[in-house]
Amino acid sequence: MQQWLLVGKISASGESSSKLIDPVPFRVGRRPEASLTLPRATVSGLHAELFTVDDRLFVRDLGSTNGTFINGERLFDVAELKEDDVVQFADLALRIMASTTCSDSHTMPEDFCDHALARVQFDKLIREEIVTPYFQPIIDLQTGATKAFEVLARSRLIGLETPGRMFAAAADLQMEARLSDLMRRKGIEVSQQFFEIPPVYLNTHPAEFENDAAWDWIRQLREMAPNQKIVIEVHEAAVTDTIGVARFRATLRDYEIGLAFDDFGAGQARLAELAAVRPDCLKFDRSMITGLDQADTSRQRFVRCLIDAIRDMGVTPLAEGVETLGEQQICTELGFQMAQGYHLGMPKPIDTYRDWSSSPTLPEFVLPMSCGDAVSS
């Protein structure tokens, strides 16, 4: 006789485990007498029940307030469940597994069910474009003025709340480029709602550099925002392909869009590669900034030497991950021109920063002189 299990974060501790669906009918709800008690305010007293017919597993919603979902689709009657399906009781998602796959009460990896749900939800995210742009200020360290915003993204879909989770699901489906494109388009679209349209930094994914023909999104961005100042960030992992990045740089210039290298210092990017391509801005990875004010003088001198070399190339150095006043002060002393981080401004929805340009002391955004031929000031 086939037996089935529910797998996920069932216990109050939040640790992933499995629960044998036995005996049947197996009722799930908030009440203590349920077969599986889920003490969550979103779950109804008797929320749903699972039962079997000839070793096949079925689920029925019991008139719950917040619904029962199978693979992201709301259940209105009875439906059969298959192994690896994700059944969701209100906001709690659990995975269906056959008892031969794992034993009752076996502890599962922490993100086991979250990962399964994320893959199910990803199609909905792409299809309905359920991405919310968040804007993080980029600050001029000399004046304290906001020069631009980096556009990040969040999602309200369970299991896909953060960029890390979204890209993990995208990687499973080899859809990183499509997700990255969606995030950029949404960022440009929402940024038009500012009282004065700001300069924005938009991210790319290394997978987007595998095919030059796929760069048509650059033209599309410019068509969406003909006069907006845009800078495209290239991850450090892609910078090692100097020839490919140089072609990318040339394409950006054609559309008067700037270029920034992201996460410098996190991997293997070298100054020689920077000199070959000459981005407008170089973003130092937070690993080089964290605790810099407490570091010994040799480390601080090393960072200053890097900054001096970069500025000599006509590239603007930007410090990422500035989280304390001390880090802000040392970054200013060492010669960083711009910075971003939680100390300077959290990534937040547009309503927080919509009137960013209302300050009469806000200077006009100008890219480094070396890229005057790339982006009009």
| Residue 281 bridge partners (DSSP) | 260, 316
Does some domain include residue 114? no
As a whole number of angstroms, the distance between CA 274 and CA 249 comes to 12
pLDDT at 136: 96
Nearest alpha carbon to residue 364 among 376, 351, 352: 376
CATH number at residue 76: 2.60.200.20
Does some domain include residue 38? yes
Same domain? 79 vs 142: no
Same domain? 183 vs 282: yes
pLDDT at 100: 60
**Residue after which a domain boundary falls, among 57, 78, 109:** 109
**Residue after which a domain boundary falls, among 78, 109, 140:** 109
ω into 39 cis (within 30 of 0): no
**Residue after which a domain boundary falls, among 61, 88, 109:** 109
Instruction: Chunk the chain into consecutive blocks of 10 residues (it has 377) and report each block's average pLDDT, rounded to whole numbers.
Output: 85 75 95 94 96 95 94 90 89 82 44 58 85 95 92 86 87 86 96 93 87 82 96 82 85 95 73 82 94 95 94 94 96 96 94 68 36 31
Nearest alpha carbon to residue 64 among 87, 84, 95, 83: 87
pLDDT at 369: 32
pLDDT at 13: 65
Q: What is the extent of the structural domain holding 134?
A: 122-371
pLDDT at 110: 44
Same domain? 103 vs 151: no
CA distance readout (Å), 237 to 46, 62, 160, 245, 331: 50, 50, 24, 11, 24
Phi and psi at residue 298, in whole multiples of 5°?
-65, -40
Same domain? 22 vs 64: yes
pLDDT at 275: 78
pLDDT at 274: 79
CATH number at residue 168: 3.20.20.450
Does some domain include residue 117? no
Does some domain include residue 377? no
Does some domain include residue 30? yes
pLDDT at 277: 85
Does some domain include residue 376? no
